[in-house]
Amino acid sequence: MASMLSHAFRNIPINSPWAVKLSKYVYSLKISFKLLQVKIPKARVNQKLNNVVLVEGVRTPFLMSGTTYANMMPHDLARASLQGLLRRTNIPKSAVDYIVYGTVIQEVKTSNIAREAALGAGFSDKTPSHTVTMACISSNQAMTTAFSLIASGQCDTVVAGGVEFMSDVPIRHSRKMRKTLLSLNRAKTVGQRLSLIGKIRPDYFAPELPAVAEFSSNEVMGHSADRLAAAFGISRVEQDEYALRSHILAKKAETEGLLKDVIPLKVPGNQTVMKDNGIRPSSMEMMSKLKPAFVKPHGTITAANASFLTDGASAVLLMSEEKALSMGYKPIAYLRDFVYVSQDPKDQLLLGPAYAIPKVLEKAGLSLDDIAAFELHEAFAAQILSNLKAMDSDWFAQNYMGRKSKVGVPPLDKLNCWGGSLSLGHPFGATGCRLVTTAAHRLIKNGGQYALVAACAAGGEGKEYQVAETYAF
């Protein structure tokens, strides 16, 4: 700007009124620049990160889709989880700085479901809320977003959660029909409308169902699980045995009152849901009679060893340690480190945990032996067993992970000891919060300092969280 003004000034007569005005303007600019240089301080960088603590976590009962929640809406479940968290913690609504929720299949009426649920639960309209999506690790993403807000000092108190409602997924008109309807909306005359209606063909009425296949590979996740099972030599019997274990452990935990995160939920019709409805211990004989669900007739994935479509919501209260203690809370865990990974969505769609676990352990300076409780998402029995075999393979470590030797395998007596997604259910957007809350409660119940949470997700992504038990008060 100064050079342009100087050039203009040189071409104007010295006694011109414009010359006088320009000289005054240039002088004022120089003064302004000097003032700016003097007054703007150097940016201050806060090197100290706040400790982030988990105060409590809750969830609605997880129910098979099409059952008791069928007449509700997704924001109803999300609202219920928020209200349950408020009751459980007695946190004043005004103390919550931010709300973030995860979900996968969004209801178009409530695209920012976090906001709608928050308003429905009675939070102030001044409380910011936003929604994230990252397939089956959507609520994990919500938690790590909250973690970052608190650790950086942007917020002191954040509610993170997730919700999924598979009883009523959006089903659209075909693309041709949508284009026609939009054109009808813009038509100005009766003749134009009749002309457009006359172009409608029978195939326009075929609905467009939500995609169940991976967009990038066009492969259903169940097919990926079947291929993983074949690649790692995991038999149908091994998968059924693992699935049965999940149901038996979940039933035991439920009977012993260990599933403390479950809150009762009153549904339309004056019925109150008190517990999950997918926990159904069977027998190997009964499970062996089921037919393959994806690769027929020789596939190994069945309805018994795959997680079922589920409705449910979850929420956790995360705070800075300083804020939690100042309000008299006794946190149940620190949240320490997390990593996200991605790999080939075609051949390694479900192997996120195998890649993420060694990374988060190295980041935290820990080994598998330091972990007292493992919570791994169970999309399929084949998926979790494949991850365990990958972690226990020197060949896989050297050829795919760039490591000199294998990671090792979590002991089964430390893995998903209160059941997992195969038995409890898997509402895509809500599972992450359940995993973290369960890990924290397992540490409190059984002792130990560290827990580790891992999950795979569509698109070949994965996420790992290392949770440390809070110190004794």
Q: Which residues are catalytic?
A: 136, 456
Token pair for 190: 């009766």
Cβ atoms 122, 94 nearer than 8 A: no
CA distance 240 to 287: 7
> Each residue of 7-22: b (16+ CB within 10 Å) or e?
eebeeeeeeeeebeeb
CA distance 90 to 19: 70
